[in-house]
Copies of this chain bind each other. A is one copy, B any other.
């Protein structure tokens, strides 16, 4: 029931993704036409503007909460939602729960740079974070990059306002020191200007506020720029002809950069797989989000995260768990 385009688009995406190896189960009202896919009745729905925690508590029979519960109880291998992001996060935390090794689950998004994928983490789960959390985001992002994207020894970089270790805010200055000692392949600070071009590392670490702003700015800028170019081109006859001729090239670029191509973001650090799709996901985006979730299941992402976090950088993680809340980031 989530998403801006209504249940029909979600159902169509699920049908598109269904294969002998991927069996989508839909959660929604009884009468839903699912084209033959299994439907689990969930009579309630959480709106895009409802307050996340309150809505999840008040609506245990919503499609979102019921789907997360199915993952938490082992009836499904992964959940995909195009609904209210905050509510999805809350429902995942309550119903799927954190891995015991993880302090703060984080959102990982694959940014398609010109030189290859960069995993941006945290892209919005934790608006305020402590330096130790950023180290764990880096750990999780690196494991994700290695296990799911098959990048060996992924390089981790820290998003900041200059490449030098002493440039940044208090959070990044402290996180830089911890990352340098973490045992990760740390490439130092990097500026946001290289995010789309490439050079931001295999894993780019930041707090969820900054990460979410970057993600939205990136998406919005790509869309505005391509729209503005189209308008400029179609303002003249000469341009119109040129526009027809460059259409395949422009389509190729749009394809690489379209968020629908990637389908969604992983919520890392849970006891199950959760993929958060865009609110305005098309059927194609939903199908890709389901495939993305399936890839995490195939690669045993949850088990690998749990195993590797248990053994990785014990000193840093232990200090992250035992240290009292730091005053500068509540």
Q: Which residues on the B side are within 8 Å of A329 (C-beta)?
A: 170, 328
- Asked if B232 contacts A127 (CB within 8 A), the reply is no
Among candidates B127, B235, B250, B330, residue contacting A168 with C-beta atoms closer than 8 Å: B127
Residue total for A at the interface (Cβ-Cβ under 8 A): 67
Nearest CB in chain B to that of A162: its residue = B86
Most chain B beta carbons < 10 A, residue from A193, A195, A214: A193
Q: Which residues on the B side are within 8 Å of A248 (C-beta)?
A: 236, 238-239
Shortest C-beta distance, A200 to chain B (Å), equals 10
- Tell whether A192 is near chain B: CB-to-CB under 8 Å: yes
- Asked if B221 contacts A196 (CB within 8 A), the reply is yes
- Tell whether A244 is near chain B: CB-to-CB under 8 Å: yes
- Tell whether A151 is near chain B: CB-to-CB under 8 Å: no
Q: A127-B169, A192-B220, A327-B327 are in contact. List 20 more A-B contacts (CB 8 A).
A: A51-B166, A124-B161, A128-B170, A168-B209, A169-B209, A170-B329, A193-B223, A195-B217, A197-B220, A210-B210, A217-B221, A221-B221, A225-B253, A225-B257, A232-B250, A232-B253, A233-B249, A241-B242, A242-B243, A328-B329
What is A's interface to B at a CB cutoff of 8 Å? 49, 51, 86, 114, 124, 127-128, 159, 161, 164, 166-170, 172, 191-197, 207-210, 212-214, 216-229, 232-233, 235-236, 238-239, 241-250, 252-253, 257, 327-330
